[in-house]
């Protein structure tokens, strides 16, 4: 199982108003735990860097929220009881399995009466 615990984002804005707009939009998400607007300069001019941090849970919360029966679909869990298949051990050590599928109809092969096609001549094949 994989679960996102936290996420950090950085956004670029040309003006402080754009940076504050990014923060307002981010505050709509309840997982936001930290935001910071930094005024930066480089040889091209001034810009604003917006740092956002989201926290979606802790490992403890994820593990506590995990269901006790976390067996994959189709797989039996440890708590499920399987009666198994009835069998008998003979005196010579061989095992006989009682066939419970005797009620099933006999399998009919749909291709039993179909004739096989002859292979194509290989002399015209370029490889």
**7-45 tens-digit pLDDT:** 999 999 999 999 999 999 999 999 999 999 999 999 999
Q: What angle do CA 90, 94, 99 make, to 5 degrees?
A: 85
**71-119 tens-digit pLDDT:** 666 666 666 666 677 788 888 988 887 765 666 567 777 777 877 777 6
CB atoms within 10 A of CB 19: 22
CB atoms within 10 A of CB 62: 14
For the domain bounded by 6-61, which CATH number is listed?
Answer: 3.30.1660
Query: Which pLDDT value is given to residue 22?
Result: 96
The residue with greater pLDDT, 89 or 50, is 50
């Amino acid at each position: 199982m994989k679960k996102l615990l936290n996420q950090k984002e950085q956004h670029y804005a040309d003006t402080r108003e754009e940076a504050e707009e990014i923060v307002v939009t981010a505050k709509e998400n309840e997982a936001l735990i930290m935001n910071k607007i930094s005024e930066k300069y480089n040889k091209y001019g001034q810009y604003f860097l917006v740092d956002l941090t989201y926290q979606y849970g802790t490992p403890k919360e994820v593990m506590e929220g995990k269901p006790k029966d976390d067996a994959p679909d189709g797989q039996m869990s440890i708590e499920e009881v399987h009666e198994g298949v009835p069998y008998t051990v003979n005196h010579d050590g061989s095992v006989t399995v009682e066939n419970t599928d005797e009620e099933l109809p006999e399998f009919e092969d749909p291709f039993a009466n179909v004739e096989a096609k002859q292979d194509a001549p290989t002399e015209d094949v370029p490889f």
